[in-house]
Amino acid sequence: MDLKNYESLCKECRIRQGFGGRKNLEEANPCFICNNLMNKLETINKALISKVNEGYEFRTFQIGVSLPSSYIEREDNIRSRLRVKGRNNIKNQFLTNLRDMFKQALNKELDYSSPDLRIDLVINEENEFFFNLVPTPIVLACKYLKKRRGIPQKQRGVAITKAQFLQDDSKYGRFFSLEEVVSEYLKQITSGVNVKFSWIGGEDKESLVLGKGRPFFAEIIKPKRRIIVEHNVSLNEKGIELFVLNASKNLPQYPMKYVSMTRISVITERLVSSKELECLTSLSNRTIWFRNKKRIISRDVHSVKIVKIDGKNFELELIAEGGLHIKQFVGGKEYCEPNISGLLGLKCECLNFDIIDVWLRGQHALEVFSDLHS
């Protein structure tokens, strides 16, 4: 039975039902199924290209569409009456055509599972269309050096912008954190909306971070710009140096293990001699057990070296597995065995500690942070 006897369809919808070879079928206006949506493909594609040219960087894409349910229902009704089975429906054909046009126009690759840019298209009954562009997060492997004291790693209390921090030290210097300054900068260079951090260890706000720096990951949410220049200094302001090493789409599945060298400044309740401090070398190649919240955990100490003695004060260099609580290890006020105060039989307090260097361990660490691998 001739399809024209039932409904008036556009060329694309006729072909999709298997009637493309029939002659003398006039072009429908409007089409019963799609209301001539298929004829607007070129217009939609041009509008989409114009939208992504507003600063979006991407190599791969995926397009999804939400069509009016009435379009699907009308096509199902016709196919039921004509007993048409096993053929593409309007949504699949529309998406296939639009993806092909977009791909060829911009020379981009279609990626169904993990695209750089996801494009959600909504079309209403009047064939008005609306785009929602969602860039996939990027994960930046970074490292930082902190050459100025008084900078906490994580945000606390009142947040400020990097511009405020750079503008007035006296007003903002005691409130800004490394997290805030780095977040503001990374949002600026990627045009992202938010930054989530995955830290690999931490330090006190009065601590310096020296050597090759402390590694960390920064996940940029909805970045317009994602082609980041690697291995260049990204930020060098007011004692903070930030390096962006490389970019990927995923955070590591497991926590990275690391070893750090820490210089610790200690004050005791009385004068101490070098002979008394010799017992601290017994901490080398020992396992330290300490309380972390409600858990008892352990960290290995590889070496302890006394580097300076001055009356009640002394400094030592500690190479240990990452995650050892330094102030707890020195003072022993909370559970920590063995600890420096206990070995000396003296009340000791950590004045400050600096991170001299950090080395990562494991094959994945080698691939991501090659210059920080031990």
Asked if 3 contacts 19 with a C-beta cutoff of 8 angstroms, the reply is yes
Same domain, 181 and 239: yes
163: phi then psi, degrees, rounded to nearest 5: -60, -40
Distance in angstroms (rounded) separating the CA atoms of residues 153 and 172: 15
Count CA within 13 A, CB hemisphere, residue 310.
Answer: 7
Edge-to-edge, what's the strand order for the sheet holding 117-123? Answer: 109-110, 60-66, 117-123, 129-135
Read off the CATH number of the domain in which 272 is found: 3.30.70.3190
Distance in angstroms (rounded) separating the CA atoms of residues 196 and 137: 10
pLDDT tens, N- to C-terminus, the chain (374 residues): 455 545 588 888 888 888 765 544 555 578 989 999 999 999 999 999 999 999 999 999 999 999 999 999 999 888 888 787 878 899 999 999 999 999 999 999 999 999 999 999 999 999 999 999 999 999 999 999 999 999 999 986 555 555 555 554 545 444 589 999 999 999 999 999 999 999 999 999 999 999 999 999 999 999 999 887 654 657 888 899 999 988 888 888 778 899 999 999 999 999 999 999 999 999 999 999 998 888 999 999 999 999 989 999 999 999 999 999 999 999 988 899 999 999 999 999 999 999 999 999 875 565 566 666 55
Q: Would you mind telling me the total number of residues written for the chain in this entry? A: 374
* DSSP-assigned beta bridge partners for residue 209: 146, 355
Distance in angstroms (rounded) separating the CA atoms of residues 215 and 1: 71
Same domain, 129 and 7: yes
Q: Do the domain assignments include residue 370?
A: no
Between the alpha carbon of residue 81 and those of residues 17, 19, 70, 92, the distances in Å are 12, 14, 17, 21
Distance in angstroms (rounded) separating the CA atoms of residues 70 and 73: 5
* DSSP-assigned beta bridge partners for residue 192: none
Q: Do the domain assignments include residue 365?
A: no
Read off the CATH number of the domain in which 151 is found: 3.30.70.2510
Tokens of 197: 């951090």
Same domain, 44 and 80: yes
Read off the CATH number of the domain in which 117 is found: 3.30.2300.10
Tokens of 214: 């402390």
Same domain, 143 and 200: yes
Distance in angstroms (rounded) separating the CA atoms of residues 365 and 374: 9
Question: What's the confidence (pLDDT) of residue 278?
Answer: 93
Question: What's the confidence (pLDDT) of residue 369?
Answer: 67
Same domain, 125 and 201: no
Ramachandran quadrant class, 327 (left: phi over 0; alpha: psi -120 to 50; beta: rest): alpha
Asked if 277 contacts 269 with a C-beta cutoff of 8 angstroms, the reply is no
Task: Count CB atoms within 10 A of the CB of residue 286.
Answer: 15
Task: Count CB atoms within 10 A of the CB of residue 259.
Answer: 16
Count CA within 13 A, CB hemisphere, residue 354.
Answer: 15
Domain that residue 194 falls in: 138-251
Tokens of 80: 């039921």
Distance in angstroms (rounded) separating the CA atoms of residues 137 and 194: 10
Query: What is the helix (H) or strand (E) element at residue 335, kind and residue range?
Result: none
End-to-end CA distance of the chain: 77
Same domain, 116 and 177: no
Q: Do the domain assignments include residue 129?
A: yes
Among 89, 119, 135, the domain boundary falls at: 135
Burial of 12 (0-12, 13-18, 19+ CB in 10 A): buried
Asked if 163 contacts 222 with a C-beta cutoff of 8 angstroms, the reply is no
Task: Count CB atoms within 10 A of the CB of residue 122.
Answer: 14
Tokens of 249: 């789409």
Same domain, 289 and 265: yes
Greatest Cα-to-Cα distance within the chain, rounded to the nearest angstrom? 107
Same domain, 87 and 146: no
pTM over 0.85, yes/no: no
Query: What is the helix (H) or strand (E) element at residue 264, kind and residue range?
Result: strand 257-268
Same domain, 294 and 226: no
Distance in angstroms (rounded) separating the CA atoms of residues 253 and 61: 24
Single-letter residue type at 291: R
Q: How many domains does the chain contain in total?
A: 3
Q: Do the domain assignments include residue 368?
A: no
Among 135, 154, 181, the domain boundary falls at: 135
